[in-house]
Amino acid sequence: MNWLQPRSIAACLLSALMAFGAHHASAQTASAPAATGKTELLWLGQAGFRIKSPGGKTIVIDPWLTGGPKTPAPYKTDIAALGKVDLLLVTHAHVDHIGDAPDLAILHKTKLFGPADMVTPLITLGVLPADLGHRFNKTGTVRPLPGIKVTAVQAEHSSLLVWKNPATNKNESHPAGEAVGYIIELENGFKIWHMGDTGLFGDMKFITERYKPDLVLMPIGGNFTMAPDDAAFAARTWIQPKMVIPMHYNSNPLTPGTLAEFQEAMKGSSVKVVPMTEGQSVEF
């Protein structure tokens, strides 16, 4: 019998391992989501955005559509016009954020991701089927789609669910946990911080240092959130992202902050302000 020498055995094993590794790497590459495209943001009004990821997925955040005074056509009268929704995020239960999210979840059979104590009453009250809610909280991370990671972070705000009881036809107020923001990391590593509704808080600096967002969607309307001067302070000193899109203004008299005030307060900063109008899309 012609036995192989130890050196020959080692060479055969090494060759086999290299062949397996090459095949495995090729398989991983073939199955990885495409990340060569651009990121597209459509502003739906207030804090609502539709994000199309580099891998072709559609993410919708805080879709106040049918009730939003600034919702662009055709979304105000037809929520299906958004197209297929792959990921649905809600920052808190106030009507101008939760908006049409439960209906979108049911329409597309897509899970609604949100603060745990907001999702629970949606389910127990029968607003949302149990299998369409995903509960998580601040510092919690989920990977809802291949190549996409979402981390819930602090927002300095409140949360209350107003629900019309069909038995009495009267509105009821239900506690809905704590408001959050989201760090959304897309397939190509691009990171978006949707701040939700928030006032100033010192851990904006920590969140920036930990997650390093490229683009921040920042409320500037005042009254319920940061006003333009506070938002500019946060952007200039604590966060200093590459880009910021102001949101949550221009919708009603209770959000009096203006884009012009924010731009004036940002003068001299290296942060690029990307102004948008409702219904406008931008690409990154």
- What are the pLDDT tens digits along the chain (284 aa)? 333 344 343 343 334 433 434 443 333 333 444 466 899 999 999 999 999 999 999 999 999 999 999 999 999 999 999 999 999 999 999 999 999 999 999 999 999 999 999 999 999 999 999 999 999 999 999 999 999 999 999 999 999 999 999 999 999 999 999 999 999 999 999 999 999 999 999 999 999 999 999 999 999 999 999 999 999 999 999 999 999 999 999 888 899 999 999 999 999 999 999 999 999 999 99
Q: Do residues 97 and 91 make contact, with C-beta atoms less than 8 angstroms apart?
A: yes
Coil/strand/helix, residue 150: strand
Residues 6+ apart with CB under 8 A from 81: 74, 75
pLDDT recorded at residue 25 = 36
Is 160 in contact with 200 (CB distance < 8 Å)? no
Distance separating alpha carbons of residues 75 and 73, to the nearest angstrom: 5
pLDDT the model gives residue 257: 97
Q: Which residue has the tokens 């928030």?
A: 198
At residue 3, the pLDDT reads 36
Residue with tokens 């993410």: 59
Question: CA-to-CA distance for 17 and 178, rounded, in angstroms?
Answer: 51
User: What number of other Cβ atoms are within 10 A of residue 49's Cβ?
Assistant: 22
Say what the pLDDT of residue 252 is: 86
Closest C-alpha among 239, 179, 234 to residue 212: 239
From CA 3, how far away is CA 26, in angstroms rounded?
34
